[in-house]
Amino acid sequence: MPRMRPQVLQRQADEALHIVRSISAAVAEGRAADQELAAHFRTHRHFGSRDRRFFSAVIFAYFRWKGWVDAIAELPQALAAACWLSREAHHPPLACWAQLPAELPSTATLTDKAAALAAWQTLSRAPTPSELFPVWFSEEVLSGAEPESAARIAASFQERPPLWLRARVGHTPTISRLLNAAGFACTPDPRIPTAIRVEGSPSAEALRPILHRHAEIQDIASQLVGTTCAPRAGEQWWDVCAGAGGKTLHLLDLLGDSGFVCSSDVRSSALRELTRRIHAANFTRVATQVLSENPENWQIAEQFDGILIDAPCSGIGTWGRAPDARWRVAREDLLTHQSRQLAILNRASRQLKAGGRLIYAVCSLSQLETEQVIATFLKQSPDFSLNDAAPRAIYPDFGPGIGMWIASLRKT
């Protein structure tokens, strides 16, 4: 690859600074960094693929390490440090901002990285893992964990998870063949054989022959929700907060040619995408329904053998993929979500048959949205109890992937 001219590198570096300042202001107002960056690219179509890769790397490295690098006075130095911590030091424009130290070893812990950053930037002290997150994070997510476990959990949010596919039953060999032919390695996970970890970043073109017919993009933690549901042949299920339908499609695949799934959401746009995916995967035993924002106004008459509530939440478990989200969530937001989650649980549970199963899941790990929600619901609903398996917290290092919390309940 030919060496880039210094003026080109400087132009890229200057543009990255401009983008970081603009998107930081948007994130402070509660807007998502990935959406802001996509909008910027749409209005600046002259950027090439190399520009976009560099700008994306800088943006997401910055928000991932913001709690540490904001201690550095000059923004260019801070961005260079964030990229170095994220192992993104190979981008040539970084040389316009700083002379980077030697690359950190892959085995470096957060403590190692903090010490190395403090030494390089001559900080007055090494930053702590808790500074990578909002002040309420330790109390809501890490409280009760042993120090070693707390450090492991914190570190798991600092890595971007790989791409995961969920293979349709019997299609794993075909998926491996197609991905290998496109130049991408993939590995079925021994814990969930239909979960396939894909190395690298396959393009839409590489994934097009695979998606829907053979597999769906679905994180391994999300796949655990479907396996926890474990729908039986002929059962009727309600996916209450279906969104674009990843879990609906999983339920349909597990049911095979029997049973039925009702998929609902308050967003008609999400259900339109779900309908597209249903048709692409050639499923028929499914119906969609748009719901009112107020659960008490839901018009659902059927009784179901199983109900899945993948409830709206703070999304703490997704912070590995969307590191800016940690700076957009306040503790008050957790209380708002908790109220909404209880309202959904109370209304949806009325449609469960006696002996039926209710699966509650959130891609959050806060106590307010998990243990406290289920404890309150069980106190208010004496005809429900936990199934034999205890609720499960899945931290991002499980996959690695997103974090999830799953509880399985039964109606007597």
pLDDT of residue 390: 86
Across 62-66, average pLDDT: 98
pLDDT category at 203 given cuts 50, 70, 90 is confident
* Whether the predicted pLDDT of 2 surpasses 70: no
Pairing of strands 236-239, 260-265: parallel
* Whether the predicted pLDDT of 201 surpasses 90: no
Dist CA 318 CA 363 (whole Å): 7
Across 242-259, average pLDDT: 94
What kind and span of H or E run contains 275? Answer: helix 268-281
DSSP state of 211: B
Crossing angle (nearest 10°) for helices 246-255 and 220-229? 40
Where helices occur in 70-190 by DSSP H, the ranges are: 75-85, 110-121, 137, 147-156, 172-181
Residue 246 half-sphere exposure, CB side, CA atoms within 13 Å?
Answer: 17
pLDDT digits (tens, 9 = 90+) for 164-197: 999 998 899 999 999 999 999 999 999 998 999 9
pLDDT of residue 388: 81
pLDDT digits (tens, 9 = 90+) for 25-38: 999 999 999 999 99
Across 217-224, average pLDDT: 97
Across 361-369, average pLDDT: 96
In sequence order, what are the residues at sequence separation of 6 or more whose Cβ sits closer than 8 angstroms to the Cβ of residue 59? 19, 20, 23, 33, 37
End-to-end CA distance of the chain: 67
The whole-model pTM stands at 0.93
Residue 310 half-sphere exposure, CB side, CA atoms within 13 Å?
Answer: 25
pLDDT category at 239 given cuts 50, 70, 90 is very high
pLDDT of residue 3: 65
CATH numbers and ranges of domains, the chain: 6-132 (no CATH), 163-411 (3.40.50.150)
The mean pLDDT of the chain is 94
pLDDT category at 55 given cuts 50, 70, 90 is very high
pLDDT of residue 145: 75
Coil, helix or strand at residue 409: strand
Dist CA 406 CA 250 (whole Å): 16
Dist CA 180 CA 172 (whole Å): 12
- 189-194 contacts at long range (C-beta below 8 A, 24 or more positions apart): 189/220, 192/220, 192/223, 192/224, 192/227, 193/167, 194/166, 194/167, 194/168, 194/169, 194/223
pLDDT of residue 1: 44
pLDDT of residue 200: 86
pLDDT digits (tens, 9 = 90+) for 333-350: 999 999 999 999 999 999
